[in-house]
Amino acid sequence: MADHYLDVPGASLHYEIHGSGPLLLLLGAPMGSRGFGTITPLLASDHTVLTFDPRGIMRSTDDDTDGEVTVERLTDDVHRLLSAVGTQPAHVFSNSGGTAVGLDLLTTHPEQVRSLVVHEPALIELLPDREELRAALDDMYETYRDVGRNEALKKYAAVTGVDRFSRPPGGGHHEATDLDSFTPPADVRAVLDRFFLHMLRPTARYRADMAALRAAPAPIVVGAATEEKGQLAHRAAVALADELGTTVVDFPGNHTGFQGEPEMFTGVLRQVFSEMA
């Protein structure tokens, strides 16, 4: 596997291509290529797997280090990346903040999407308590900016139920009470800084065009983590499925279950793709 870079307006995107077969894009925000490292080789046995680091994350740059990273900008980056890689539409698996980009890509560039899996959509506008959640996001942002990472992460965990930003492959938990050991690597801390200060609010507040999604030519499957029932992303998954007139597909593990249980997760994902085909 060779490192590839694509110049896009205001940024340079690092991306990787593995395997051969139908094109499959793994899409996260802020998660980049390394976050999907457990399932990429499994899927690359019969897919051309495309992963990348979103602008300003890890090996991708962003000329604007101060402003918010909008969903529209992230979507345009993905559109340009898919155009550079090939002409065939892609299967898209999106997770967490990446689900906003996946849904936006399908509504703005439907010709580039062959099918879309929306896993654990962290989309607060789908929920009845959206006003309280907007205020909570603003409070997290201000806490991260003015107080520090640890206090903001505690608030994030309390609101979302997600307290494993660096859960090691193969399982295991970090203690949420010791958030310095919870995210020890400098690169993970840099990703968290980028996410909380520039990406969290735009992606979480994304409002999907439901009419366009219901009319889209590509099939959409909404997935949720079996270990996260009752948490924010699981509630949003149920709400999104209701809007689209479908049901939620259970995926093993937690919010990023593909990291801890890659074989089981990939098995469910393959079944989903088979049924959509």
The domain spans of the chain are 4-124+207-276
86: helix, strand or coil: coil
- Predicted confidence at residue 258, as pLDDT, reads 95
Match 């049924």 to its residue by tokens. Answer: 275
What is the pTM (predicted TM-score) of this model? Answer: 0.92
**Alpha-carbon span 76 to 187, nearest angstrom:** 25
What percentage of the chain's residues is helix, strand, coil (to nearest 5)? 50, 15, 35
Q: Which two tokens stand for residue 166?
A: 């660096």
Confidence category of residue 164, pLDDT binned at 50, 70, 90: low
Q: Which two tokens stand for residue 259?
A: 């990291």
The CATH number for 4-124+207-276, chosen from 3.10.20.600, 3.90.1010.10, 3.40.50.200, 3.40.50.1820, is 3.40.50.1820
Percent of residues, the chain, with pLDDT higher than 90 = 87
Average pLDDT (269-274) is 95
Average pLDDT of the chain is 91
44: helix, strand or coil: coil
Q: How many CB atoms neighbour CB 176 within 10 A? A: 13
Please state whether the peptide bond connecting residue 219 to the residue before it is cis, i.e. omega within 30 degrees of 0. Answer: no
